[in-house]
Chains A and B, each alone.
Chain A
């Protein structure tokens, strides 16, 4: 279907997306946006898996299933994360990551 689009285009996109996600993780002050950055990262990984599967190794569905599992993991991660974030909001009345420095040295 889109065989004429080079593999590398996908890879560049996913890599960029991956590092954008990391950038977001490193700069967003809000815990939820950090979580969203994580989702970006995972999503870029998924693209990688899917694209590799499709373009290089279409005989088996390894990448496909890997993506599937990653989505599920992402969901459970998000669930727990949000639970904790809400907990934090209860305690701090804020979810700014900068407030989370009670422990340092």
Chain B
């Protein structure tokens, strides 16, 4: 026990809230369940902020590196002689940072949902699931070892599943949940195999041991090779597959757009701010191992990140469902973070990418949550997700409009909003590493600005649509979180991340490189300008553009047909070409053999009945023949 032991409460409070609200669901009338959940999370949030304050400020001796602290640890299960699964709490810069992100966004969503989910059937259930998610996510970020992370990783997956499938009576909602679960589960397979390899290569799960640059884990990197790469590299790539699944990296991203079937606060919490960055967090967590033990793996991370960011941005250009646009934008931004990690080196200035990635993670959480909650407020008002059914909403929803605009500017990387700072760091890191990646990111920055403002204009500008009833601003309980998050979006860029969250715990100085920043601002502005031109007022330009690039447009609109490919693989290949034959094989070959044996016995039984003819002379004949045969065999043959 040490001075951080109280942090145990941070995940446990939501857990008990989950148990209580979940079991007493029927008994909790009205908003009681929600209130309990919100209060519980409020406490957890407070404790998180206290921890951050304590860790970064009070307990930190200036100029020294941030050390990781094991606040708590118990043995959960002995696996092998060496490997033991522990459950505990690890406090270090990135976990504390994530603690802030998770608890803040979660708390906001809790408050927001009091309004948004009002009157829904199963209101308490919603809150119990939210608490479960918060518990799992907090457990994940606080994990002391890889296996604990995997445990909570799975729990996060299942809470995401439950929340996406919240409207379980809607078949699309459930199938989206199922898809999310299965795709991430598939990715987790990689994660698990990665853990198997890693743990048997290094002999430990523990993060502190694993990431020690001088520890056994990294030094054993030169171990046995398999197909040209060391086992450690394979392990890291497989672990990244797990991360890629959760973080919706190409090609495991397909679940994320569908996940928007869940209630919007859920999308904000899980599919924008917290769970989807778990992959980033995972790589960041193991960053020293990646950087020192498996540079090849890190390269894979970079390229996958870069490709995903471009790919998602291109799709986002053409989507009409506002939540999907946001979802693809999330993918794109996470791609940024991955890329940033991928181009980073270990220690000091080299670790700029690492810092930038975490920085972007942090700011992104704020503005993306804001965007989603804002979108939620819009949907709340017009009861539709479709852009074409929106327009001119700025006068009905002033607060939402303002906050949404702030978020858009932030994501477009316009200074002085926070997104500018974090994105700039990423671009710098990429620039120093690989020019192609850097180029891609420039392009993506422009695309981002364009599609965000396309979204913005489509919703809030243009003329009114035929609304069922006049849209009205959301209640205070929903707008306050918007405002808080907007505040965060604006100002979180000012946090001195390069002093707080670095690859080796030591701070370094960083400044804005205007040679890179200026063009990026310019690209952002161009993007906004084009969007303004095309979408501020209704005109024929978008259609013309779409027509000009009709192929590209259609491919983008259909998300490059990846879903269809998946459908083909799952429905056709797995169901029809594997499962059906297996079932057939089982019924007809395996079972058929067993039945065949039985039938053979019956067949024999029917075919020897001639022996029993009822004729005593035949009996005698058989008798005598039997005697003769026995004599022949045993007297003369043997």
A95: min CB distance to chain B, Å: 12
* Cα–Cα, bound, A100→B518 (Å): 115
Are A102 and B614 interface neighbours, CB within 8 A? yes
* Cα–Cα, bound, A97→B618 (Å): 11
* Cα–Cα, bound, A100→B616 (Å): 8
CB of B511 within 8 A of chain A? Answer: no
Are B609 and A97 interface neighbours, CB within 8 A? no
* Cα–Cα, bound, A91→B615 (Å): 18
Are A26 and B624 interface neighbours, CB within 8 A? yes
CB of B612 within 8 A of chain A? Answer: yes
Are B616 and A104 interface neighbours, CB within 8 A? no
Are B613 and A104 interface neighbours, CB within 8 A? yes
Known: A22-B624, A26-B624. A103 touches B617 (CB 8 A): no
- A-contact 0/1 string along B606-633, CB 8 Å cutoff: 0001001111110011001000000000
Are B621 and A101 interface neighbours, CB within 8 A? no
A39: min CB distance to chain B, Å: 15
* Cα–Cα, bound, A101→B613 (Å): 7
Are A100 and B620 interface neighbours, CB within 8 A? no
* Cα–Cα, bound, A105→B613 (Å): 6
Are B624 and A104 interface neighbours, CB within 8 A? no
A38: min CB distance to chain B, Å: 10
* Cα–Cα, bound, A97→B619 (Å): 12
Are B621 and A104 interface neighbours, CB within 8 A? no
Are A25 and B614 interface neighbours, CB within 8 A? no
- B-contact 0/1 string along A8-43, CB 8 Å cutoff: 000000000000001001110000001000000000
Are B617 and A27 interface neighbours, CB within 8 A? yes
* Cα–Cα, bound, A70→B617 (Å): 23
Number of interface residues of B (CB under 8 A): 10
CB of A3 within 8 A of chain B? Answer: no
Main DSSP-derived SS at the B contact region: helix
Are B617 and A97 interface neighbours, CB within 8 A? yes
Are B612 and A105 interface neighbours, CB within 8 A? yes
The number of A-B residue pairs with CB atoms under 8 Å apart is: 29
Q: Give the nearest-CB partner of A98 in chain B.
A: B615
Tell me the A58-83 residues at the B interface (CB within 8 Å).
none
Collect the chain B residues with CB atoms within 8 Å of residue A100's CB: 614-616
Are B615 and A105 interface neighbours, CB within 8 A? no
Collect the chain B residues with CB atoms within 8 Å of residue A101's CB: 613-615
Q: Give the nearest-CB partner of A27 in chain B.
A: B617
Are B617 and A104 interface neighbours, CB within 8 A? no
* Cα–Cα, bound, A7→B616 (Å): 35
Collect the chain A residues with CB atoms within 8 Å of residue B614's CB: 100-104
Q: Give the nearest-CB partner of B613 in chain A.
A: A104
Are B620 and A104 interface neighbours, CB within 8 A? no
Tell me the B572-620 residues at the A interface (CB within 8 Å).
609, 612-617, 620
Are B621 and A26 interface neighbours, CB within 8 A? yes
A24: min CB distance to chain B, Å: 10
Are A26 and B620 interface neighbours, CB within 8 A? yes
Q: Give the nearest-CB partner of A37 in chain B.
A: B620
* Cα–Cα, bound, A25→B615 (Å): 12
Q: Give the nearest-CB partner of B625 in chain A.
A: A26
* Cα–Cα, bound, A65→B616 (Å): 31
Collect the chain B residues with CB atoms within 8 Å of residue A103's CB: 614
* Cα–Cα, bound, A97→B621 (Å): 14
Collect the chain A residues with CB atoms within 8 Å of residue B621's CB: 26
Could you list which residues of chain B lie within 8 angstroms of chain A, going by C-beta atoms?
609, 612-617, 620-621, 624
Question: What are 6 of the A-B contact pairs (CB < 8 Å)?
Answer: A97-B615, A97-B616, A97-B617, A101-B614, A102-B614, A104-B614
Given contacts A22-B620, A27-B617, A100-B616, 14 further A-B contacts (CB under 8 A): A25-B620, A26-B617, A26-B620, A26-B621, A97-B615, A100-B614, A100-B615, A101-B613, A101-B614, A102-B614, A103-B614, A104-B612, A104-B615, A105-B612
A-B residue pairs, 4 tightest by C-beta:
A104-B614, A101-B614, A26-B620, A26-B621
